[in-house]
Amino acid sequence: MPNNDDFRIKRIQKMLLEMAKGNFFYSLEPSDKNDNIASLVVMLNMVNEEIAAAFIHQGFANAHNTPQCIIQLSLILDAKGQIELVTNGTCSLLSCMPKDIIGKHITELMTENSQRTWSKKMIKHLKRDRSETVLFLEFITNDGLLLAKDCQISVYQALDGSGQKIVLNSVFFSKGEPFETGLPKNKLKVTKGIKEHKVTLTPEDIQMIREVHDTILNNLHKDLPLLKDLALQMGTNEYKLKYGFKQIYGTTIFRFLTQERLRKSKTLIQHSNLSLKEIAHMNGFKSAAHFSRAFRDKYGKTPTALRG
């Protein structure tokens, strides 16, 4: 694969365009170089991962190596391409209700380019009793956003004798681990702004800090240990832990903890029948007054006002 600077910049441009369209599931493979472009690729992958991880509380998913595979595009079609069955995850991705798309032709949900791709490619596959292929398709959500992804297409004969069926599947929230494979052998200098770097973060350091991040998400109801004790548990020192976390996630560890507690609390207030006292307790707030004050500072209204 070409690895010159122009090619690498074009890949970054493509990723930024995908992000601008609302597609935060596009990532770049790290190169074996150790320069500013390589650092930019790492940071862009982190931004994408953080945006995807922000949806974890919406799905009430446990965060082991964020983000998890929690939303899948999945449809069953008849041989003509009419939609017969959709999953809840599909409706969530497309921002619609099942009744809005069942009975429609699959191409009604696609861009013009994907409509042509579907019409051209499916002709030969529908001539066989069983067939599998992968197509890159672009779907338009009810909100006007673009979902672009490789989709697994399977053609089979229904057991009830109703003829051919088509199954379309694609995972949109996929587990991303950009630091475990294809890593640069040299240490990567992560900097912020125009200041000189203070700490060199190795891939192992970055993975360790990501583990701290996931531990916080999975234990929002618990108090964090002292940072020096946490650093000791993770096999590093307090300064590198604090500095590295701030470089990667743009905030301090304790601010991140408070931010995620409030984010999950907001979701529970809006989408559960739990009392405000229960929500405060299960997210680590010591008192209702402390919870209400922190919530108002973050969202501009009290928990009571939001639920009301």
Residue 18's closest CA among 128, 149, 106? 149
- The amino acid sitting at 206 is I
Give the per-residue pLDDT at 23.
Answer: 67
Query: What are the tokens at 295?
Result: 């919530």
Give the per-residue pLDDT at 92.
Answer: 77
Nearest-10 crossing angle of helices 36-53, 5-20: 20
Say if residues 34 and 236 touch (Cβ distance below 8 Å).
Answer: no
Give the per-residue pLDDT at 262.
Answer: 92
Give the per-residue pLDDT at 105.
Answer: 95
φ, ψ (nearest 5 deg) of residue 253: -60, -45
Distance, in Å, from the CA atom of 213 to the CA atom of 283, rounded to the nearest integer, reads: 16
H helix runs in 36-131, sequence order: 36-53, 56-59, 88-94, 98-101, 112-125
- pLDDT averages per 10-residue partition of the chain, 308 residues: 72 79 68 76 76 55 45 85 89 84 93 92 87 88 80 88 88 45 45 52 85 88 90 90 87 91 88 89 90 90 88
Give the per-residue pLDDT at 202.
Answer: 83
Query: What are the tokens at 249?
Result: 């996630």
SS3 166: strand
Q: Is the pTM of this model over 0.75?
A: no
